[in-house]
Structure 1
Amino acid sequence: MARHVALLYSVVLGPGRRLRMGDLRAMAEGLGFARVRSLVATGNLVFDAPAADPRLLEQRLETAFAARFGRHVDIILRDSSRWGRLMAGNPFPEASLLAPDRVAVRVMRAPAGAGVLEALEPYRSADERMALVDGDLWVHFPHGQGGSRLAAAMKPRRAGGPGTFRNWNTVRGIGVMLEA
């Protein structure tokens, strides 16, 4: 068995409907995954499953999600060792200490290429910083993501494909769950 992290792109099922984490855990347990846990209501799962091609596990989760909740949601998977490398690769450690909710990583299904930084540059404000580390896109949003043109521009075609943002607080929280 290997420990995995599953990141949902969205926890909104439709107007006025949010995904309950207990329902998401039950879905994963129904697939035979063990030690299924979630981190608050952020669309993250940590679970144990037989070692397999991550894309196959993503497809199983996405198929089960669509069947149970009535809509497709992209789900990005990482095993525990890749999550550890993701955490260690944080290019903005000082900003993460000062304001961990202002540093985020767009965890990518497939590694984004260097061209993604060039494609997003016109949307970046002077004080926002971006870095590509192992194909995942890190951003320091010193004024938050809410009003950021850069955050709003991060659509899959411009940002290198399917991916989902998690702030440093969430990244660390998942790291703690992986160790337990």
Structure 2
Amino acid sequence: MRTYVALLYSIVLGEGRRVVMSDLKAMAERIGLKNVRTLVATGNLVFEARTAKISDLEHRLEKAFEETFGRHVDIIVRGAEDWLKLAAGNPFPDDSADAADQVAVRVMRRPAPVEAAAALHAYAAEDEKVLLVDGDIWVVFSRERPSSRLLTAASHKRMGIGTSRNWNTVRRLAEMVGSRQ
């Protein structure tokens, strides 16, 4: 058995309807995943499964989600070792220590194209940072602006399938999988 992290792109089912984490956990258990745990109510799963291809796990989870909740949602899966590497590779440790909720990573299903990630710099405010690390896009969002142009610029259409998590979530998921290694 290996430990994995799964990130749901969205858990909003429609106006006023969100996925309840206990329902998500039950769905994952129904498809045979073991020791399923959730982290905060934003669609983060940690689970164990027999060694499998990541793409197969993603497909199983997406199919089960659609059957259970009636809506397709992209789900990104990473093995525990890869998640720990992602967390250890945070290129903004000082910013993360100062304001962990302002640092995020867009975890990609397939590595983001270098040119697409580089194009994000045009959308960054003066106090924002963008860096591509191992195919994922790390961002330090502005502390001065309540919204950032980077959020809309880093869309599926431009970057490919991915989902963002702030440093608090990345770190806590790393703690969860690290304790299972």
> Normalised by the size of structure 1, how large is the TM-score?
0.96
Q: Deviations over 1:72-116 (max 9, x none)?
A: 000000000000110111000000001000000000000112112
1:146 CA displacement? 4.6
Q: Could you say what secondary structure the match of 1:174 adopts?
A: helix
Q: Could you say what secondary structure the match of 1:143 adopts?
A: coil
Matched with 2:149 is 149
* Structure 2 Cα separation of the partners of residues 77 and 120 of structure 1: 24
1:77-96 equivalence runs, <5 A: 77-96=77-96
1:144 CA displacement? 7.4
Q: Could you say what secondary structure the match of 1:72 adopts?
A: coil
Q: Deviations over 1:6-28 (max 9, x none)?
A: 00000101101010000000000
Q: Could you say what secondary structure the match of 1:65 adopts?
A: helix
8 A Cα contact 1:145 1:151, kept in partner:
no
Number of aligned pairs?
A: 179
Q: What letter corresponds to residue 88 of structure 2 in structure 1?
A: A
Matched with 2:102 is 102
* Structure 1 Cα separation of the partners of residues 6 and 144 of structure 2: 24
1:31 CA displacement? 0.7
1:122 CA displacement? 2.1
> Normalised by the size of structure 2, how large is the TM-score?
0.95
Matched with 1:168 is 167
Q: Where in structure 2 are there 5+ consecutive unaligned residues?
A: none
1:114-129 equivalence runs, <5 A: 114-129=114-129
1:47 CA displacement? 0.1
8 A Cα contact 2:106 2:164, kept in partner:
yes
1:12-161 equivalence runs, <5 A: 12-143=12-143, 146-158=146-158, 160-161=159-160
1:120 CA displacement? 1.7
Give % identity.
Answer: 55
From the superposition, tell whether residues 96 and 3 of structure 1 become closer, same or farther in structure 2 (CA, over 3 Å).
same
8 A Cα contact 2:84 2:178, kept in partner:
no
Q: What letter corresponds to residue 91 of structure 1 in structure 2?
A: P
From the superposition, tell whether residues 2 and 98 of structure 1 become closer, same or farther in structure 2 (CA, over 3 Å).
same
